Structure 1
Amino acid sequence: MTRETPTYTGPDLCALSAVEAVGLLRRGEVSPAELIEAAATRHAQTDPAINAMPTPCFDRARAAAQALTKPDDDRGALHGLPLGIKDLTSVAGVRTTCGTPGLAKYVPETSDPLVELIEARGGVVLGKTNTPEFGAGANTFNAIFGPTRNPWDTRLNPAGSSGGAAAQLAVGQAWLSHGSDHGGSLRTPAAYCGVVGLRPSPGLVAGGPAQAGYITEGVQGPMARSVADCALFLDTMTGYDPRYPLSYPRDPAPYLAAVDRAEVSTLRIGYLPDLGGESAVDLDMRRHIDDAMQRMAEAGASVEEVTPDLSGMRRAYYVQRGLLWASLMRDIDPAIRKGFKQTLEENVQVGLSMRMDDIVDSQLIRSRLYDETQDCFAQVDVLAAPVVGCMPHPVEEEWVRRVGGKDLDFYMDWLDCGFLATAVGLPAISVPVGFSPDGLPVGLQLIGKPRGEADLLAAARCVEQVFGGPLPVFDPNVTHS
């Protein structure tokens, strides 16, 4: 990375990687309680500036840490490591709003199955991270908690919908943070905040709304400050759960071990600078990603531009997105739906108005797109593309209306670099690749082969090595317009 090390004034423990912190926990050199107190201190230092985790539950975390010390208690893979959970996912006894006014006071009695799994494997929940209403959109704000701000420049958008998760990681409020992804909700905020966000293959991580059990596009996944930490968290999240119809058993080999296989000289990258002309990309972003590809080639990777036919990608994605919102919201309590923001209600209306021809065309397009990517994977290990077509915009802008010289019509249009992986069910990851001239981090998207998370993580570690990552934690850069 080519930026001066930013100032960091928080607890030393908060600057550790998740892998390092778990190592200390296992050796008994630090306790979960000590990590919780360090995280609480860091939250108090930073959250007034960025509003990343508006619902902390430190007392619940302290009680969970005490339970971990009971005799013969199996502390799991995370061994008592504190982490954040996105405010779309239920945590028993903790306010869970989904960012919507109708659920502002909702406190669930039970946790989402994914939270149960994470806690069973030694994770300790610190609190709920901020999200746009029901995760709709890539600007993290809602009527209950207000906006989350980009810690690199608090005038700017941290993206979303896992914006609170990314912002909290960047400043050291937690060692790991959970998120979810449909149109880039793990990848885009990771790119804007300089961390790592992985969208897994559908079915690898079980969790989320039960009524969307057969929807492949929305997935739960890990976010962390490094590729190794992300792999550790993925190890904690995965496993077959019969409550979810798409769930499948994972490979028994740890994903964390895959990171050690990273070898730049054997990595073959297929470059999609604007996803075959289907995605809008600003000139400065194109330059950043072109330079990143050149750096990878100079480091020994094979880089070639590939040209699959990705026509129809946006249409296919939007139809599937509409089906998701229709499935989730058609039967929701009208009192909750009454308070929806305009863009969320528009999502629902689009979904409910779908014609059979729209659905059939979407399925046919997706099948063709999948075949096109498979042809590419016969020659390359991963596909590389921008995570998003533009750099962060002011936090007051709900969505970006012009990218790559194109005027955009819909509030998701500026995120179309993320649509391919979602539409065809491929794993994808965002990893930092340096800084813009303004000192903001830039993320590179790598798209892996079907159910190819292990190889994808190894490729991401190659990129991280070439660019000198991961980035260190830092104090928020509080700026004023």
Structure 2
Amino acid sequence: MKSRQSGPGAAEGPDDAVTLAARLAARQVSAEAVVTAALDRIARFDPALKAFVTVDREGAIAAARRLDASDRPVGPLHGLPVAVKDVIDTADLRTTRGSLLFADHVPATDDPVVARLKAAGAVVVGKTNTPEFGFGAVCTNRIQGPTANPYDLRLTSGGSSGGSAAAVAAGLVPLAQGTDFGGSVRTPAGFCGIVSVRPTPGRIAEPGRDLAWTGLASHGVMARTVADAALMLAAMAGPDPADPLSWTVWPPLAAPESSLAPAASMLRVAASADFGVAPIADTVRHRFDAAVARIAAVAGPVERAHPDCAEAPAAFRTLRAAQIERGLADLVAGREDLLTDPVRWNLGAGRGLTARSYLEAEAARARLSRRFVAFFATRDVLVAPAASVMPWPNADGEVLAIDGRPLADILDYLTVTFVVTLVGFPVVTLPAPSDDLPFGLQLIGRPGEEARLLAFAARLEAEAGFAWRAPPPSMEIGP
């Protein structure tokens, strides 16, 4: 059985994750066959995409054979090939973090989120490309890249989870893990026309997080369909005593088609192209307006409104800069010549910050969060673009201007996503209907309400064309 998901240059492609999971659980197909097929697609198409830094063919097939030998399905992801972003540790599998400093680094243990994926039955087939340490607009580093956009190989797949996004969009794997600080799951998902979830902080426990009480960075889920994203999120989610953000008892995750989920027409939907502070390309604004009109046809009137976000840009810059400088300065000391320019810029932005400036940024973040809470007292979903620009040529590097208007710095183009990072509300990214380059939307909901967002996204996917579409066969990806 084949789904409408198809790989680049192919009339048919692999089944979606939900379909594959059902077939694997019923033993209609072996894990080895499914994993080998994914590895073969990677071998065929990835030389042009450069989505993967490391592929573990031998280890993945061995893991699949162990699953086939089990008496019953190991978990909900039994036998599904999954890709992991190359900033996340994987036991006995090279993890470079996109840096020459870790070019030969092989961790001894799995990151807890990888351990959860494996416990759910997933098979890690390889590590996906990222800018160095996940900091950069273009998915490239001195080891690998740049990763190409499956819809136009000249263009960027986005940063920093661009390798994961390209691998999923091109049908190389059905599911991929990503991370998101300022938009690193959402922007690549939008550029590559796939679904992503950046959950409420604590929904996916991170017991190894150094700054345990701050939730600016998050694991994320990347898939081709809403149901697939929900499947992976459920497998990754769960508390851990070592992560204080996970102590909250969030509502359980339900399947997107759950009869308990409210109908789209019952939700109160608002939309904002820029939160009043984000620089936005004219093309993005026009495509956003068209997408909102399409949503209104399903959900009813869409209010144009947003919370007051005036304090967000300065607060995010300070918090991000301080955390990056603290996390990397000692690690890279004396080896700065090995770093890429975006990492050096980010480190420089954090030097000289005072404790008072950091605490003032935290206070501004608290005020912003309370404004979002008040805003959502009378709204259920807030819709915004997933990026301020359309995909640009990889060769152009960082985003320094939009429509000829210079930006303040290399973070400015992320304003439309980092505003939501600050408040920690969950976001589902969904591709808007398009016959051209993909264009993504952020669907933002209240903390803990991922199930509601996924149900709304599933309705838009099924009834209004907000769905992944295969990259064009003319792209000629592969040798």
Secondary structure (helix, strand or coil) at the match of 2:419 reads: helix
Q: Return the alpha-carbon distance in structure 2 between the equivalents of residues 320 and 106 of structure 1.
A: 29
Q: Return the alpha-carbon distance in structure 2 between the equivalents of residues 343 and 201 of structure 1.
A: 28
2:294 aligns with 295
Per mean C-alpha deviation after superposition, the further-off stretch among 65-74 and 286-295 is: 65-74
2:470 aligns with 473
1:314 aligns with 313
- State the one-letter code of the partner of 2:421: T
2:5, 2:171 within 8 Å by CA — same for their partners in 1?
no
After superposition, give the CA deviation of every residue in 1:161-209 in whole Å (9 maximum; x if it has no partner): 0000000011110010000001100000000000011111111112385
1:238, 1:250 within 8 Å by CA — same for their partners in 2?
no
Change in CA separation of 1:472 and 1:255 when aligned onto 2, cut-off 3 Å: same
Change in CA separation of 1:336 and 1:20 when aligned onto 2, cut-off 3 Å: farther
2:187 aligns with 188
1:445 aligns with 442
Secondary structure (helix, strand or coil) at the match of 1:155 reads: strand
1:83, 1:175 within 8 Å by CA — same for their partners in 2?
yes
Report the alpha carbon displacement of residue 403 of structure 1 after superposing the two structures with TM.
Answer: 1.8
1:377 aligns with 376
1:267, 1:302 within 8 Å by CA — same for their partners in 2?
no
Stretches of structure 2 that go unaligned for 5 or more consecutive residues are none
1:282, 1:405 within 8 Å by CA — same for their partners in 2?
no
- State the one-letter code of the partner of 1:301: G
- State the one-letter code of the partner of 1:443: G
- State the one-letter code of the partner of 1:477: M
- State the one-letter code of the partner of 1:190: A
1:244 aligns with 243
Secondary structure (helix, strand or coil) at the match of 2:81 reads: strand
Secondary structure (helix, strand or coil) at the match of 2:89 reads: coil
**What is the RMSD computed on CA atoms of the aligned residues?**
2.3
Q: Return the alpha-carbon distance in structure 1 between the equivalents of residues 22 and 72 of structure 2.
A: 18
Secondary structure (helix, strand or coil) at the match of 1:177 reads: strand
- State the one-letter code of the partner of 1:470: A
Change in CA separation of 1:71 and 1:356 when aligned onto 2, cut-off 3 Å: closer
Residues 118-137 of structure 1 mapped to structure 2, 5 A cutoff: 118-137=117-136
1:87, 1:130 within 8 Å by CA — same for their partners in 2?
yes
After superposition, give the CA deviation of every residue in 1:103-154 in whole Å (9 maximum; x if it has no partner): 1011111111110111001111010000000000221000001210101000
2:266 aligns with 266
Runs of 4+ in 1 over 6 A off after TM superposition: 4-7
Change in CA separation of 1:177 and 1:418 when aligned onto 2, cut-off 3 Å: same
Report the alpha carbon displacement of residue 251 of structure 1 after superposing the two structures with TM.
Answer: 4.5
Q: Return the alpha-carbon distance in structure 2 between the equivalents of residues 246 and 405 of structure 1.
A: 41
1:211, 1:327 within 8 Å by CA — same for their partners in 2?
no
Paired residue for 1:464, among 435, 446, 461?
461
The reply to whether residue 235 of structure 1 matches residue 263 of structure 2 is: no
Residues 37-436 of structure 1 mapped to structure 2, 5 A cutoff: 37-72=36-71, 75-207=74-206, 210-248=209-247, 251=250, 253-257=252-256, 261=261, 263-276=263-276, 278-332=277-331, 334=333, 337-403=336-402, 406-435=405-434
Q: Return the alpha-carbon distance in structure 1 between the equivalents of residues 377 and 251 of structure 2.
A: 25
Per mean C-alpha deviation after superposition, the further-off stretch among 129-138 and 360-369 is: 360-369
Percent identical: 36
1:176, 1:223 within 8 Å by CA — same for their partners in 2?
yes
Report the alpha carbon displacement of residue 409 of structure 1 after superposing the two structures with TM.
Answer: 2.9
- State the one-letter code of the partner of 1:282: A
With the length of structure 1 as denominator, give the TM-score of the two structures. 0.92
Report the alpha carbon displacement of residue 7 of structure 1 after superposing the two structures with TM.
Answer: 7.8
- State the one-letter code of the partner of 1:199: R
- State the one-letter code of the partner of 1:442: F
Q: Return the alpha-carbon distance in structure 2 between the equivalents of residues 73 and 350 of structure 1.
A: 52
- State the one-letter code of the partner of 1:147: P
- State the one-letter code of the partner of 1:341: T
Q: Return the alpha-carbon distance in structure 1 between the equivalents of residues 246 and 20 of structure 2.
A: 30
1:259, 1:457 within 8 Å by CA — same for their partners in 2?
no
1:295, 1:466 within 8 Å by CA — same for their partners in 2?
no
Report the alpha carbon displacement of residue 434 of structure 1 after superposing the two structures with TM.
Answer: 1.8
Stretches of structure 1 that go unaligned for 5 or more consecutive residues are none
1:387, 1:443 within 8 Å by CA — same for their partners in 2?
yes
Q: Return the alpha-carbon distance in structure 1 between the equivalents of residues 135 and 393 of structure 2.
A: 18
Q: How many residues align?
A: 472
Per mean C-alpha deviation after superposition, the further-off stretch among 39-48 and 61-70 is: 61-70
Per mean C-alpha deviation after superposition, the further-off stretch among 462-471 and 122-131 is: 462-471
Secondary structure (helix, strand or coil) at the match of 2:219 reads: strand
Per mean C-alpha deviation after superposition, the further-off stretch among 44-53 and 160-169 is: 44-53
1:24, 1:30 within 8 Å by CA — same for their partners in 2?
yes
Q: Return the alpha-carbon distance in structure 2 between the equivalents of residues 281 and 17 of structure 1.
A: 33
